[in-house]
Amino acid sequence: MSNSVIKNLLTKAFQAFKLRPLEGETSEASQSAFISELTHLQEAVRAVTGEDLSLEETVKSIPKSNQQPVTFVDIFENSMMTMMVIIMKPGSRIPLHDHPNMYGMIKVLAGQIRVQSYTLLDEPGKIMDHHTPKNTVLSALRMPETVLSKVSSPVTLAPEIRNVHEIECICGESADKNYAAFLDILSPPYPDADSCHYFRAEDHSQRTDGSGELRKCRLVQIECPKDYFTACSSVGPF
């Protein structure tokens, strides 16, 4: 694992997220400074490769007895942000879930993933705090589905845009690299396990443009799907 690459990513991330405007802050200068640093972070993330993060060695270190479809490999976490690599077996998925009041960035390192995201339309405050009531129903806009590979640019989510999404592993790169993996950065981290909420999307029939790509729907909060379980391991220089 390249310490210099990790340190560069962390430096860019700290520079961006420390400038994140506070809730209700509308200063144009503050917004501009944050967006500028966020763009620098996106550029740094775009350049990261699996080799930079010793991806093959990490995959080889996962026990063959590991039955989990998704493995989280921690790189760094503090109160401001978390950085990890997520490794997915073909056909596995991370169910539709939210990121309350978070910014996030995804960069594929190997294989291909399909991302289906949603932008909330009404009462976003319901999902902005970390204690959304059970059985909450939210109106949302279904965004165009995106297929990502290691040549794709990073995908960014924000508190108000693409905040809810589902990720599915489509395939690995080859028979001997039968997995997908991506770098995942979140700011701030989830404060606890109960802060992540899972949803079922309903009513995709109402189109909002002529192409049919954008559709209004409802997101119904559900319990974490029983077929979703993960494993975590700690690696990295920090």
Which of 178, 180, 57, 8 is closest to 110 using CA atoms?
180
Angle 183-168-184 (CA atoms, 0-180°, nearest 5)?
15
Asked whether residue 233 carries a pLDDT value surpassing 90, the answer given is no
Q: Cα(127)–Cα(98) distance, rounded to whole angstroms? A: 8
54-204+212-233: CATH number = 2.60.120.10
**Could you read off the pLDDT of 97-155 as tens digits, one per residue?**
998 889 999 999 999 999 999 998 865 545 545 556 667 888 899 999 999 999 999 99
Mean pLDDT of 52-73: 85
Convert the pLDDT of each residue in 159-183 to its tens digit: 888 989 999 999 877 777 889 999 9
CA torsion angle for 211, 217, 223, 224 (degrees, to 10)? 10
Identify which of 22-26, 47-51, 175-179 has the greatest average pLDDT. 47-51
Give the residue among 94, 88, 102, 107 at the shortest CA–CA distance from 9.
107
pLDDT at 206 exceeding the cut of 70: no
Neighbours of 216 (CB within 10 A): 15
Give the residue-averaged pLDDT of 64-87.
88
Residue 188 CA to residue 170 CA, distance in Å, equals 28
Q: What is the mean pLDDT of the chain?
A: 84
Phi, psi of 179 (to 5 degrees): -160, 165
CB 83 within 8 A of CB 75: yes
- Is 234 a residue whose pLDDT tops 50? no
The single residue listed with the structure tokens 């806009």 is 141
Is it the case that residue 11 has pLDDT exceeding 80? yes
Q: Which pLDDT score is estimated for 129? A: 55
Query: pLDDT band at 238, cuts 50/70/90?
Result: very low
219-231, pLDDT tens digit by residue?
998 888 887 766 5
Cα dihedral across residues 22, 28, 29, 31: positive or negative: positive
pLDDT of residue 64: 72
Residue 198, token pair as written in the block? 């899972």
Q: Say how far apart CA 156 and CA 102 lie, in whole Å.
A: 11
pLDDT confidence of residue 230:
66
For the segment 179-193, the average pLDDT, to the nearest whole number, is: 91
Q: What percent of the chain has pLDDT over 90?
A: 50
